Amino acid sequence: MKNFEGEYVYDGEYFKTPSGLAIQNPLDQLKRSKLMLSQLLQSLGSKLTVEAYVIFINPQFTLYQTPPDLPFILPTQLNRFLSKLDQKPSLLNQSHKNLADKLISLHQTESPYTQLPAYEYETIKKGMTCCKCDSFAVTIVGKKLICDKCGCIELVTVAVMRNVEEFKLLFPEQKITTNVIHEWCGVVDSRKRISRVLGKNLKITGLGQWAFYE
Ligand SMILES: [Zn+2]
């Protein structure tokens, strides 16, 4: 599926805009996807063949000089293409169901390409950083957090909440408590101050030492 919008000219290797800008021909992507899906089906013992098309779904898309033999479905052809699919008789049997189950079992919700370094709360350097240059060299003066390195000034309240967000991102399983954020922010002396900021911006659950924020 491609959601390209506007006018393009088919130019063999590329799609070109009237102003001459070239973008990649989706056929390249299609070829790769078709090959990979075919190989997957084969490895699962399926005899199904893959018919691959590039579907342009945006009604505001025009492609000039398209050779008619390409597997492109343009917006004006979409309805006819769908009704043709509907006309094809298809009976699902157990082998289809087995294949579907196998495909579902292979489904990956997490990309195998995300590579996070290992980290632990205990070994991570605590303390607030400058919102501009990320330096740990920051000082609190009154209501402001001032960067000793670049001079950037941020309200302590805003900086604390920024650090809460960072903490949540790094430790999504952890509960947000005054103690935790107090230690995480480092530079803020008073626990009460942290507690006030959290109380103003988040919803408190529980009481006393068991209280946490959401
Ligand atoms: Zn800075």
Residue 69's pLDDT is 92
**Which two structure tokens, joined as six digits, stand for 39?**
């190989």
Measured in angstroms, how far is the CA atom of residue 91 from the centroid of ligand 1?
65
pLDDT tens digit string along 106-123?
Answer: 988 777 777 778 899 989
Measured in angstroms, how far is the CA atom of residue 132 from the centroid of ligand 1?
5
Percentage helix, strand, coil, to 5, in the chain? 40, 20, 45
Residue 152's pLDDT is 94
Measured in angstroms, how far is the CA atom of residue 144 from the centroid of ligand 1?
13
Measured in angstroms, how far is the CA atom of residue 166 from the centroid of ligand 1?
17
Residue 115's pLDDT is 77
Measured in angstroms, how far is the CA atom of residue 183 from the centroid of ligand 1?
21
Residue 23's pLDDT is 87
Polymer length in residues for the chain: 214
Other Cβ atoms within 10 Å of 132 Cβ, number: 13
Residue 12's pLDDT is 82
- Residue 137, C-beta contacts closer than 8 angstroms, at least 6 positions apart: 130, 147, 148, 149
In contact, 60 and 4? CB cutoff 8 Å:
no
How far is it, in rounded angstroms, from Cα 191 to Cα 122?
20
pLDDT in tens, the chain (214 residues): 999 999 999 988 889 988 888 888 999 999 999 999 999 999 999 989 999 999 999 999 999 999 989 999 999 999 999 999 999 888 899 999 999 999 999 988 777 777 778 899 989 999 999 999 999 999 999 999 999 999 999 999 999 999 999 999 999 888 999 999 999 999 888 889 999 999 999 988 888 777 889 8
| Beta-bridge mates of residue 7 | 62
Residue 113's pLDDT is 74
How far is it, in rounded angstroms, from Cα 64 to Cα 7?
8
pTM > 0.85: yes or no? no
Measured in angstroms, how far is the CA atom of residue 213 from the centroid of ligand 1?
29
* Helix (H), strand (E) at residue 16: strand 14-16
Closest CA to 197 of 124, 143, 149: 143
How far is it, in rounded angstroms, from Cα 129 to Cα 63?
50
Residue 13's pLDDT is 83
